[in-house]
Amino acid sequence: YYFPCQRWLAVEEDDGQIVRELVPVDEAFVKKGSENDGQSLATLGLEQKDKSTTYTVKVKTGDKKNAGTDANVFLTLYGTNDDTGIVSLKASKINKNKFERGKVDEFTVESVDIGDLKKIKIGHDNKGNSTGWFLEWVEIDAPSLGQCLKFPCGRWLDKSEDDGAIERIIFPAKLQTREYIPFVPYEITVYTSDVFGAGTDADVFIVLYGSDGTCTRQKSLCLNKREQRMYFERNSVNQFIVELEDVGDMIEKIRIGHKGGGLNSGWHLDRVAIRRLLPDGK
């Protein structure tokens, strides 16, 4: 069994996760990748990502005195087929200091397919100076399922408050569940030209347009500023697996650009290749 990763396990890199679930890939693919250049090896990480489901997790800390926590918060998602295991919520995409009073924090969680979400378990390790936490709600957006679920809590996770519990199992509020057409994964390969000053550190985004007037939302290809500095270098090839609205079998056009700013924002783009990935990853 071959379980390639080729991705960061680091709070400041990629999606911020320091634990990953890996699924096996075909032995021939591994051997083919090892015989070719590093770019082929890098695609192994994309194969893994294609087989994963990405969740956007928003966590609202209550607006009460001493509601915030310095403890380490963890989360487990339970589905009809499986669960994610314990996921540490370490890198908030919105706030440097996470879980502060009245604030919403956002995290990216990746997992193999666990089926329809049924419940979550959230808690903390009670370590730090201010450990007690008042959790207002958790919202989980699962684009591949076409669902955004709200898990209301409105209780303390504090050994000296409420019932003294520091972890809780929460169920979704059916009336607050928002459903939409499930997203599909696209493999997007971006080729930066081999001319002087071709690379960019700007925030590159893309929009796909289908044949019947449908289009996706505008999606940034990089997750953070660090990735922006790493990718889109002169004469480079960068691949991304991006979950977006399904625009159908025909992509009529794309819109690609960047948001400017910074010292090296100008970009010379050679070409873009896009593959709509089917359920079996082809």
Q: Which residues contact 282 (CB under 8 A, 6 or more apart)?
A: none
Residue 209 CA to residue 253 CA, distance in Å, equals 5
Under 8 Å between Cβ of 236 and 227 = no
Give tens-digit pLDDT for 211-255: 888 899 999 999 888 888 899 999 999 999 898 999 988 888 999
Q: What is the pLDDT of residue 265?
A: 83
b/e map of 199-210 (b: 16 or more CB within 10 Å)? bbbbbbbbbbbb
Which tokens belong to 103? 């604030």
Averaged in consecutive runs of 10 residues, what is the pLDDT profile of the chain (282 residues)?
69 72 63 50 57 88 94 94 90 90 93 90 93 96 91 95 94 92 89 90 91 89 86 93 89 89 83 80 48
Q: Which of 217, 243, 221, 223 is nearest to 53 (CA)?
A: 243
Length of the chain in terms of residues written: 282
Residue 139 CA to residue 118 CA, distance in Å, equals 13
Q: What is the pLDDT of residue 55?
A: 92
Instruction: Enumerate domains of the chain plus CATH numbers.
Output: 2-38+183-276 (2.60.60.20), 53-179 (2.60.60.20)
Q: What is the pLDDT of residue 75?
A: 95
Which tokens belong to 39? 């770019």
Q: Which of 138, 171, 127, 134 is nearest to 156 (CA)?
A: 134
Q: What is the pLDDT of residue 48?
A: 58
Residue 148 CA to residue 140 CA, distance in Å, equals 6
Q: What is the pLDDT of residue 125?
A: 94
Q: What is the pLDDT of residue 276?
A: 86
Neighbours of 7 (CB within 10 A): 19
Under 8 Å between Cβ of 255 and 207 = yes
Can you spell out the DSSP letters for the chain? -B----S--STTSTTS-S------B-HHHHHHHHHS-HHHHHHHHHHHHHTEEEEEEEEEE-SSTT----SPEEEEEEESS-B---EE----SS-SS-S-TT-EEEEEEEEE---SEEEEEEEE---SS---EEEEEEEEEETTTTEEEEEEEEEEE-TTSTT--SEEEE---GGG-EE-PPPEEEEEEEEE-SSTT----S-EEEEEEETTS-BPPPEES-SSHHHHHHSS-TT-EEEEEEEE----S-EEEEEEEE---SSS----EEEEEEEEPPTT--
Q: What is the pLDDT of residue 266?
A: 87
pTM of the predicted structure, to 2 decimals = 0.75
Residue tagged 């294609």 (tokens): 50
